[in-house]
Amino acid sequence: MATIKSLYSSAALLLVIIAIAAQTKTAQSQDCAATLTTLNTCAPYVLPGQSNVLPSPECCSALQNVEHGCLCNTLRIASRIPAACSLPALTCG
């Protein structure tokens, strides 16, 4: 009987840990999305045909505030979109 109670306690603890991890992941995703929107100040630098050769101080500041993992994961996901849409992979030269 004690083993069953211990098993239920362990299962309940595991569910609490999973719930906390899911909430943390959601909060991190929201933080990532919010900081990525600050990169709009970099648009004049990254859009083709623009005359700005160097990013503005605002762009540099926004980029500095984006977590490395957030930006890398976003780029990694974006690079998989063409394959998910049955389109050829992007090649940049």
| 17 has pLDDT over 70 | no
SS3 53: coil
Predicted TM-score of the model (pTM): 0.57
The confidence band for 64, taking pLDDT boundaries of 50, 70 and 90, is very high
- Signed CA dihedral, 27, 80, 75, 40: sign only: negative
With respect to residue 24, please indicate whether it lies within any of the assigned structural domains. Answer: yes
With respect to residue 91, please indicate whether it lies within any of the assigned structural domains. Answer: no
Residue 42 structure tokens: 């970099």
| 34 has pLDDT over 90 | no
With respect to residue 92, please indicate whether it lies within any of the assigned structural domains. Answer: no
Say which DSSP state 55 is in: -
| 8 has pLDDT over 60 | no
Q: CA-CA distances (angstroms) from residue 79 to 29, 49, 59, 61, 86?
A: 18, 22, 23, 25, 13
- Count: domains in the chain: 1
> Greatest CA separation found in the chain?
75
| 13 has pLDDT over 80 | no
| 24 has pLDDT over 50 | no
